[in-house]
Structure 1
Amino acid sequence: MKHYVYIITNKKDGVLYIGETKDLKKRIYQHKNKVHPTTFSARYNLDKLIYSEEFETEAKAKLREKQMKKWNRDWKIELIEKLNPNWTDLHTEI
């Protein structure tokens, strides 16, 4: 079963949130609709999917998520801007 690591934000150069999920489409829907209103992403209105990676296993996805969460902000921005220089909301592509 596929698993995903993703980054969401509220605007270009805004707050970043890194997450992991087995159902990216459903998880982004939850962020956009504030299904869990007391979470970090809801509090900061993080609902724009700006980056995602696909993995074959949950273990690989969780490992990548942990790695990325340890990165400094500049590294995260560099990763995002390699594939999405305009920070376009990619939710329609999933």
Structure 2
Amino acid sequence: MKKFVYIVTDRNRTSLHVGMSADLIKTLDFYKQMPNLFFDSGQQLTRLVYFEEFKTESQALNRFKVVSRFTRPQKERIVRSCNPDWIDLTIGLDFENIIYQKKLNTQVALPLSILS
């Protein structure tokens, strides 16, 4: 089972929060449903700006412990290394999830000419 270490921020990049999850989409939905979970509503953590994927929980936990201890400049550096414009990566995850779900739900459709 995959595990993720991630960094989320608010729209003004005031706060950076490091977390670990097995399902990033569900976790991000939770953040959106609980706007005052960590901070006031102006600092709602809704933007996924960085994540790493791991094969085991122990690998993810070790990385989480390291990244959690980073100073703010170190966290900013790690985000900028792969996401220099601080784009919300949730959009890509949603798209990937939609495509995956469609593949699971799609049945092979035969052309009518073959059936007749």
Q: Which has the higher strand share?
A: 1
For structure 1, the 5+ residue unaligned runs are none
Going from structure 1 to structure 2, the CA distance change for 1:41 and 1:21 (only over 3 Å counts) comes to: farther
Q: Which has the larger radius of gyration?
A: 2
For structure 2, the 5+ residue unaligned runs are 94-116
User: Which TM-score applies when normalising by structure 1?
Assistant: 0.87
Q: Which has the higher helix share?
A: 2
Matches within 5 A, 1:2-81: 2-34=2-34, 39-40=37-38, 44-81=43-80
Higher RCO structure (Cα 8 Å, ≥6 apart): 1
CA contact (8 A) 2:9 2:46 kept: yes
What percentage of residue pairs aligned between the two structures are identical?
35
Moved more, 48-57 or 37-46: 37-46
Task: Work out the CA distance in 2 between the residues paired with 1:66 and 1:7.
Answer: 13
Question: Which consecutive aligned stretches of 4+ in structure 1 deviate over 2 angstroms post-superposition?
Answer: 41-44
Q: How many residues align?
A: 92
Tell me which amino acid in the other structure corresponds to 2:37: T
Q: CA deviation at 1:41?
A: 5.7
Alpha-carbon deviations, 1:43-72, whole Å to 9, x = none? 631110000000001111111111011111
- Please, what is the CA RMSD of the aligned residues? 1.7
1:88 equivalent to 2:87? Answer: yes
